[in-house]
């Protein structure tokens, strides 16, 4: 019998294949129901105009009750955006991935939120303590206890 997680992910993936992703978002790879890659382009006039980023979604067995692990891909092709809530290792400090997660959210709504977060950014800069965090960060950002106190960027 398929788990709730697998049923939900199969439904989300079928919807993406049937209806596509929101504008500026593309499914790059979803070979299974555990790890997906999506690209993210920021629309309109913004500091990130013309830049494309990639996100890796890793879904645990308790999705959608628990949020997926979502990170910006950092490799030879992609880099994490320079943003006050995104560390250079790709970890994202966003409340919807932590204490404000809701099972009604999905991959598209997460991408739209991150797209909006980047589009509204006024200054490209790394989070305070980026170098220290990256040196000591756990492999999964879900093992970091972020403080969500600055929603102005």
Residue % of the chain over a pLDDT of 90: 91
Asked if residue 145 belongs to a domain, the reply is no
Asked if residue 152 belongs to a domain, the reply is no
Per-residue confidence (pLDDT) for residue 4, from 0 to 100: 93
Confidence band for 153, pLDDT divided at 50, 70 and 90 = low
Asked if residue 150 belongs to a domain, the reply is no
Asked if residue 143 belongs to a domain, the reply is no
Asked if residue 151 belongs to a domain, the reply is no
Helix (H, G, I), strand (E, B) or coil at 119: helix
Instruction: Specify the CATH number for the domain of residue 77.
Output: 3.10.110.10
Residue 81: is its pLDDT beyond 60?
Answer: yes
Per-residue confidence (pLDDT) for residue 145, from 0 to 100: 85
Confidence band for 146, pLDDT divided at 50, 70 and 90 = confident
Q: CA-CA distances (angstroms) from residue 8 to 11, 82, 104?
A: 5, 32, 11
Per-residue confidence (pLDDT) for residue 26, from 0 to 100: 98
Residue whose entry in the numeric block shows the structure tokens 């404000």: 100
Residue whose entry in the numeric block shows the structure tokens 């999964």: 140
Domain range spanning residue 110? 4-137
Asked if residue 153 belongs to a domain, the reply is no
Is residue 81 within 8 A of residue 48, CB to CB? The reply is yes
Asked if residue 34 belongs to a domain, the reply is yes
Strands 69-72 and 35-41 come out as unpaired
Per-residue confidence (pLDDT) for residue 148, from 0 to 100: 75
Confidence band for 95, pLDDT divided at 50, 70 and 90 = very high
Of 3-7, 47-51, 126-130, 146-150, the one with minimum mean pLDDT is 146-150
For 117-129, what is the mean pLDDT? Answer: 96
Per-residue confidence (pLDDT) for residue 149, from 0 to 100: 67
- Number of domain units in the chain: 1
pLDDT tens track for 19-64: 999 999 999 999 999 999 999 999 989 999 989 999 999 999 999 9
Residues 40 and 53: their CA atoms lie apart, in Å, by 5
Residues 11 and 14: their CA atoms lie apart, in Å, by 5
Of 1-10, 25-34, 128-137, the one with minimum mean pLDDT is 1-10
Asked if residue 122 belongs to a domain, the reply is yes
Which residues are catalytic, by number? 93
């Amino acid at each position: 019998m398929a788990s709730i997680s697998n049923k939900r992910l199969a439904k989300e993936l079928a919807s993406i294949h049937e209806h596509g992703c929101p504008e500026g978002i593309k499914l790059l790879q979803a070979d299974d129901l555990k790890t997906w890659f999506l690209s993210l382009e920021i629309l309109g006039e913004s500091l990130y105009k013309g830049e494309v980023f990639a996100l890796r979604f890793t879904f645990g067995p308790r999705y959608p009750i628990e949020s997926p692990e979502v990170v910006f891909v950092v490799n030879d092709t992609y880099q994490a955006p320079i943003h006050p809530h995104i560390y250079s290792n790709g970890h994202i400090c966003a409340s919807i991935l932590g204490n404000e997660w809701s099972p009604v959210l999905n991959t598209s709504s997460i991408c739209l939120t991150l797209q909006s977060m980047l589009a509204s950014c006024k200054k490209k800069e790394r989070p305070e303590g980026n170098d220290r965090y990256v040196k000591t960060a756990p492999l999964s950002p879900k093992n970091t206890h972020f403080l969500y106190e600055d929603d102005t960027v």
